[in-house]
Structures are given as C-alpha cells and as structure tokens.
Structure 1
Amino acid sequence: MATSTINTATTSSGTSLSTDVYNRVQKTMSAQNGVATKLNTALKADQTKLSGLGQLKSALSAFQTLAASLSGSGLSTSASVSAKSVLTASSSGAAKAGTYALDIKQLAQGQFLTSDAFAASDAKLGSGAVTTVKIDFGTASAKGFTINGSASSKAITINSSNNTLDGIAAALKAAGVDAKVVKDEDGKYALALTGASGAANSMRISVSGDAALKSLLSFDPDGTQKLKQGSAASDAVLTVGDKQITSASNTLDKAIAGLTLKLTGTGKTEVTVAQDASQIGSNLKSFVSAYNELNKKLQALQKGDLKGDTALNQAVSQFNTLLRSGGGVSQSALATAGLGQDANGNLVLDDKKLQAALKTDAAAVGKLFTNEGRGLADLLATQAGSLTGDSSVLKRETTQVSKEITSINAKRASLSKALTAQATALAALYSAQAQTGAGSAINGAAGSAGTLFDMLG
C-alpha cells in the first residue's frame, strides 16, 4: 500500500481501528502505489548515477594527479635522505635539484583514551537504559576546547542490546571511531579509543542516560575525565631551513615543492634531490599502472552504474583517441621506448625495450612523456583535468542529477503527506460506516453525490 500512518490497531488520533476497516483502506489506497513506485525507481536510478559519476571523478582525479607529478623534472629526479630513521622522501613533478635541511621536532599523533578495566569484556554495564554518547572533535588548550568545524560530531546509542565493552566498542567502530577492547597484563579488559592524528582532532565525550556509562565514558578536557588519557592529540612540527611547518599528518606533500615526505621519527636530516635517469623507468611504470587502473574503472562503469553515460563515453573516447594518435608524440618513438596498448586498451610497457632506449638516450625518452606540456603524460594529465573541470560534461551531469534527487525527494515528501491525510480520512469514514451500516465508500452510497475520491479531489 502507498505510504500512510494508518495501522491495524489505531488511527493517528488513538481510536481503535478494526482489521476490516484497515483492509478496506489498503484496498482503496493500492491504486496510489504506482506513483510512489515510479518516484522510488527514479530516485534509485539517480542515486546510482550520482554514485557512478562520483567514482568517475575520483578515478580521473587520481590519475591526473599521478600524471601531473611526472611533468617537468619530476620524471627524472630522485630524493635521498641522510637520516632514514627520521623520514623517507619521494620526488614528483616540481622537485628541484638541491639539498634541504630539516629538523623534525615532533610527530603527529592521535589522542589515546582508555576506560577502567573489567574482568570480562561481555559483562553487562549499567542498567541498559537508552544512553547517548556524543563525541565532539576539536583543539584542547589552556584557553578551552575549540570545536573543529570540519569534523562532524558522532552520536552513538547504547542500550540493553550492547551495554558491554564489546558492544560499546562495536557501536563506536560502526560510527567511524577507532575503538577496540584491549586486555592488560592482569587479564582484565578495557575500552581503548584512538583519535585521528592532529591537534584539532582531540575528543570531548559527553554521555546522557545511564549513570554507570556516564561514569565510565565521559571525557572533558576542561572538566570531568572518567576515561584516562594515555597520549594527547598533536601535530607534526618541523623546520625546513628557517621555516617552521605544522601538519596534522606525518605525510606532507607541500613542505618542499615536488617532494612527498613521510615522517617516522624526530631529529635532523638532509634531503637531496638529484637528476637520476634511472628514475625515468620507475616513474613510467607507475604511470602505466595508474592509467591501467583508470581504464579498468572506466570499463567497469561502462558495464555498470554509468552504462551509456555521456560523460563516461566522452572520457573513454578522448583517452583512446589521444593514445592512438599520440597527441603529437611520435608513435614509433613510443614503441621504440617499449610503450604500446593491448586489445583491452591497457598500456603495456616492454621493460627490455625501455631499458635499451634509456641506455641510448634517457633524456629523449623522458621528453616523450613530459616536454613543456607536449609529452604524453602532460597531455593525458591535461585531458583528465579538463574532464573533471567546472565546465565539463561530468560537472554538468553531477549538478543536474543532484537537482533531480532534490526534486524527487520533495515530491516523495509531498506524496507521503497527501497519502497519509487520505488514508486517515478513509479510515475515519470507513469506521463511521461500520458503525452506521452505510454504503461503500469506494463505490459511493446510493443517492450520494459521488465517491470519497471525488470528495478528496
């Protein structure tokens, strides 16, 4: 039956509703199912398409980032580190040859909280009353707790079905919080929570409901702290030359242009970026792998969520055309360097040919892929960027489908409201007829002005 608030027990006003009346309402309302079904079908189709468009954009953006990183000197530079216990470094597009002095003073880490310990992880805690655990994220300092506007709060419900350490941990984990039950050296169990790294991801936990759970789980940096803090949330702090940098993550890609740094310890080190022809082969293999991942995703979307889609077909067509023509890059030179395509459109790199070409003229091989915007990697990166830009078909389709979803949801809400009112009116009328023995509300009583549907318009 179409959506309504009528049930077999009572009406919305609390009046008893018989099974016979309910069945008559259901029979009359069944004609409305078609409209609701069409809206639901349209909504599901649009939601599927929107998801597919999101996957397409993500795949194109990931490839564009990798391809762009090979531009300029990034294809043929390598980075070495003097103190490998402090960090690792890899070069990309804008990396410039030179030596950089770094001093890592502090690593980024997440807040770590633990509860009191218990003899068993599956023992019931508290009364089982419905309890809400709210977790806010922000920065804890001497000035107070400042909410992180980019991190949404979490709300977790605990009741008699999950009021154990195991149950609480599972509920927190389902809400996206890193929570688990740990066992100490005495064989007792405690709840452990780990926040995301970065000072702005400190947790403030408030509990409303069961007093026992409130006493177990509350944590306010400025007040009551029932959970115990093993470590505070902190940012990575480092200097590059005379410039100090802070980061919520231990992976940094903007500290030094063209380098990705992964911090692993504290201390001083030097990072040296140098021209390295052998890096060309390694980076080209990464390029081929990234394109093939993109091609795999495009083919999957063609067979699934975006079958026949304009934006997807445009992407596939433009990439295929560019690779077949070389975009101005010599096809024979690419073949000599070992690059080709298989029947599925995947790039294939013949390592034996590649190594021979690199040995003969590494610089010439590099220019096939990055050459002041005219290399194959340059062109593919530009193509991927244009396919996801603000004026792209993909952007227009995404905007249009989002509007359609908003419109359909509005229609569904309006229809639900109308059907609820109609079902309520039918229930009231049929109940009255059952008491008075009046004629059918579906066909209209003898001598009446019309049916109930006529009266409802």
Structure 2
Amino acid sequence: MTTISNTTSSTSTGVTTDVYNRVAQTMAPATTAANKINASITKDQTKLSALGQLQSALASFQKIAAGLTGAGLSTTAASSAKNVLSATSTGTAKAGTYALDVKQLAQGQFLTSEEFATGTDGKVGSGATTTVKIDFGTTGGDKGFVTGAASASVTIDSSNNTPEGIAAAFKAAGVDVSVVKGDNGKYSLSIDGKDGAANSMRISVSGDAALKNLLTYDPTGTQKMKQTTAAQDAILTVDGKQITSASNTIKDTAIGGATLNLVGAGKSDVTIAAGASQIGDNLKSFVAAYNDLNAKMLKLQKGDLKSDTAMNQAVSQMSMLLKTGGGTVSVSKLAAAGITQDKDGNMVLDDKKLQAALTTDSSAVAGLFTTTDGRGIADLLSAKASALTSSSSVLTRETSLTTNEITNLNTKKASMTKALTAQANALAALYTAQAQTGAGSALNGTGSGTLFDMLG
C-alpha cells in the first residue's frame, strides 16, 4: 500500500516523522470517520455472506424434499436387463412395468489428427500466433452444420506449440484433447467431444499453416482431422413412445420419478414397485437433510445472523411445522411412526418404531410425509423452504437491501477518500515547507496515496 513515508532523512522525497505525525494528528477526526465506514462495510459484507449461506441451505433442503414429494415415497425401480440399463426411483415414480427399447446410446464425436514425428516436447509449426475456433452444433440434413449457442477459442503460439501444450490449451477451453503415440513412434492428437448430437464440432484455424493442416475440421468442407465416431443422442422408446437424450443418464423424462442409466442397446422391462424398505430409506434421507439444514440455521442464528429477522423467521416457521404438523399432519401419528423433535429442533428418528409402523401400514406412513394434494409434512416443509427463498421473501429483501447498502458505503468511501487525501496532501506539503525540509510530493513523492491507504 502507498502510505505517508515517515523517514527522518531531510533529502528524501518522503516526509519527515515530525510532518507525518502532525498530519496524522490533524486528520484524527477523519480517521475516526473513515474507520466507521470501513467497519460498516465489513459488517455488511459478513451479513451478506451469511444471508447467502442461509439461502443456499434452504434451497438444498428444498431440492431434496421436493424429490420425495408427490405420488409417494414408496416405489423402487428394477431393470430386467442390466446389460441394457439400470434404473432407480426417488419414490415418486408411478408403480407399473414399462417396456423399454434402447436403439442407440449417446456418444461424443471423436476426431484424430494426422501423425507427426515431433515428440511431446517438440515444436509443432512455426510458433506464429494462431487462433483455433471450435463451434458446437448439429450436423447432417439439408442445413449442413448448424451452430449452437456456445463456441470455444484456443490460442497457440511459441509458448505452447508442443503437442502437450496444444492439448493443455484445448483442455483449458473445455475441450478434451489427448496426445497419442502410435506403434511407429509418431504422435497424433485426438479430440473426445461431449455426448449428444448438439455437441458435434467444427474446427477452423487462422494463423500457422502447419496447425491449419493439422487441426482443421469442417463436417461440410475441409477435413484435415479424421472423424472416427460421430456425436449422437441416445434414442429409446418407452411403451412405444420415442425419447431422445444427449446423455445416457435420463432423469424423469423417460419415466417420471425414475432415473435410467443406459449402458447398451437392447430391450429391458423396468418395474416400478411399492416397497416398505424404500419408504424407510427415503425418510432417513429426508430426516438427515432437515437436520443438516437445522444445524446450519442454528449456527448462523448464534453467529453472523444473530437477531436477524429473516434468520429468526426461517428457524421459527420450519420448526413450527414439526411442532404442530401445520394443521394437516398429526404430530402424534408422526411420533408413532418414530419421528419426533428434540430441544434443538432436530428431527429424531426411532428406527424400531418406524419399522413397526411400516410393517403395519407402509402406505399410511408414506401419507404422513407426502400426499398427492401436497398436505404431508415433507410437502409442507418443501413448500415453506421454497417460500422462504422466493423473490418476495424477507430473506430476498434483506439480501437486496444489504447489497445496496454496501454499494452506497463504497461510493461514500471513495468520495471521502478523494476529499481527505487532497487535504492530507495539502497538510503534508504545508508542514514540510514550514519545516524547510525540501520540496516534493507529501505522499511518497507521487501524490498517488489515499487516506485509506494511510489508515492501513
């Protein structure tokens, strides 16, 4: 930082210790005001960070809770052909057997360059600055290559025109490139694209001719690289209805409430079935997620958000639903199913009671937590977490107000800095002249210091 120099040398371009001390004494009231602004900014920044942590914790819990609500907690998924696909359920998938036929898997485009004799540390091309642009899009059909929204750009020059350097530059731009050594001792570059037809690549090169001859690839024009695998989407049918996906992991779109992981082409039945064990597992996950949220809220309430309105509202309203059931869920029935609340607001799960309740009537236990009309305790807690983070919530308003206050304080700080720095410079120059210790800027001879620099 630039500070007022307190050197004792009379020939220095800085100011003497005496002048420094006189300026500091005269500016003491300004120091107090500046420190107050700095303290206010620090306090607001701490609060803003804490509000962000609260919002993130509520959103994470809401996402987990929402995944367990809707049709119920009680379903599991099983595939009849593990070599074709595996399936899992969040518990909300509708029970039944679904006939699937996987026509093709999603895959990424794979391109390889011509071989070159240069070793991994040798230079490729002249080292002239070269720009490599990678467009992503779809190819085929009457329109040829149709670009998507994203593209990537790579710069190659004398600092990175080795095979490993080129590969590293591509990887930094989000494109997976590897250096491959053939049996003949020569090298080539391979580009492994992301899965999905929309991730087909078109590579254009401007600059070094050697790199242009090595890397250019236009699916409808010049192709210096060779395509060994084309980008494509996964294609499958579910009970005769065709589904396409850029990924081999398909969540909800093929079977609502279920996730499919495709591993090969072929046919498989997916059976969604009710199961008491799934209810128990899902409820344990739900309890753990709520307790993670509660621990975070209590930590913030005792720390950076002590006495904060949004914080207290979140703790009170989430906890109250467990204490009262929200008027729609019987607290006594929750207790009978093994779910109670301790003195710190955590959910406590008695596994023996839960298993006994599941054995007696698993659907009734599931109904305590989620129903089709959204009146279970998980439904209510999910909705409450969503409301607490909505655009009209107290938390959102506090976040906005705090952000605005930080902006205003920084503006005030900049203005005060400019004015008081001018005053400090003038005083230092005056006192220096009075002491007849030489000319020069009062602030390290440059005039670039600020009052806030002076304060540290």
| Partners of 2:358 and 2:145 in 1: CA distance | 57
Change beyond 3 A, Cα 1:238–1:399: farther
Partner of 2:287: 288
1:90-101 equivalences under 5 Å are: 90-92=88-90, 94-101=92-99
Partner of 2:379: 378
| Between 92-101 and 198-207, the greater mean CA deviation after superposition | 92-101
Partner of 1:366: 366
Assess if the C-alpha contact under 8 Å between 1:115 and 1:192 holds in 2. yes
| Partners of 1:189 and 1:406 in 2: CA distance | 55
| Partners of 1:337 and 1:214 in 2: CA distance | 69
Alignment partner of 1:339 is 2:339:
yes
Assess if the C-alpha contact under 8 Å between 2:234 and 2:246 holds in 1. yes
Partner of 1:178: 176
Q: CA deviation at 1:279?
A: 1.5
Partner of 2:87: 89
Change beyond 3 A, Cα 1:271–1:384: same
Assess if the C-alpha contact under 8 Å between 1:74 and 1:258 holds in 2. no
Partner of 2:434: none
Partner of 1:434: none
Q: SS of the residue aligned with 1:120?
A: coil
Q: SS of the residue aligned with 1:111?
A: strand
**Fraction of identical pairs, as percent:** 63
Q: CA deviation at 1:41?
A: 11
1:345-364 equivalences under 5 Å are: 346-364=346-364
Q: CA deviation at 1:442?
A: 7.4
| Partners of 1:304 and 1:193 in 2: CA distance | 50
| Partners of 2:200 and 2:43 in 1: CA distance | 40
1:380-428 CA-partner distances (Å, limit 9, x unpaired): 111122123332334445666777899999x79x99xxx9xxxxxxxxx
| Partners of 1:403 and 1:155 in 2: CA distance | 36
Letter in 1 for 2:389: T
Alignment partner of 1:71 is 2:72:
no
Letter in 2 for 1:390: S
| Partners of 1:355 and 1:85 in 2: CA distance | 34
1:76-108 CA-partner distances (Å, limit 9, x unpaired): 122222222222222346422222222111111
1:98-121 CA-partner distances (Å, limit 9, x unpaired): 222221111111222233345532
Alignment partner of 1:191 is 2:193:
no
| Partners of 1:180 and 1:41 in 2: CA distance | 51
Please list every run of 5 or more consecutive structure 2 residues that lacks an aligned counterpart in the other structure: 3-12, 16-26, 28-34, 419-438, 443-456
Assess if the C-alpha contact under 8 Å between 1:75 and 1:366 holds in 2. yes
Partner of 2:314: 315
Alignment partner of 1:120 is 2:119:
yes
Partner of 1:207: 205
1:211-250 equivalences under 5 Å are: 211-250=209-248
1:282-320 CA-partner distances (Å, limit 9, x unpaired): 211222233344446656777999888765554344323
Change beyond 3 A, Cα 1:388–1:189: farther
| Partners of 1:41 and 1:220 in 2: CA distance | 58
Change beyond 3 A, Cα 1:170–1:299: farther
| Partners of 1:198 and 1:382 in 2: CA distance | 35
Q: How many residues align?
A: 401
| Partners of 1:218 and 1:42 in 2: CA distance | 56
Q: SS of the residue aligned with 2:71?
A: helix
| Between 98-107 and 60-69, the greater mean CA deviation after superposition | 60-69
Assess if the C-alpha contact under 8 Å between 1:367 and 1:375 holds in 2. yes
| Between 85-94 and 139-148, the greater mean CA deviation after superposition | 85-94
| Partners of 2:43 and 2:156 in 1: CA distance | 35
Q: SS of the residue aligned with 2:214?
A: helix
1:93-172 equivalences under 5 Å are: 94-118=92-116, 120-142=119-141, 143-149=143-149, 151=150, 153-172=151-170
1:109-158 CA-partner distances (Å, limit 9, x unpaired): 12222333455322222222322222221111232221212x3x222222
Change beyond 3 A, Cα 1:317–1:112: farther
Q: CA deviation at 1:227?
A: 2.6
| Partners of 2:88 and 2:278 in 1: CA distance | 11
Change beyond 3 A, Cα 1:167–1:316: farther
| Partners of 1:183 and 1:41 in 2: CA distance | 60
| Partners of 1:107 and 1:158 in 2: CA distance | 34
Change beyond 3 A, Cα 1:270–1:348: same
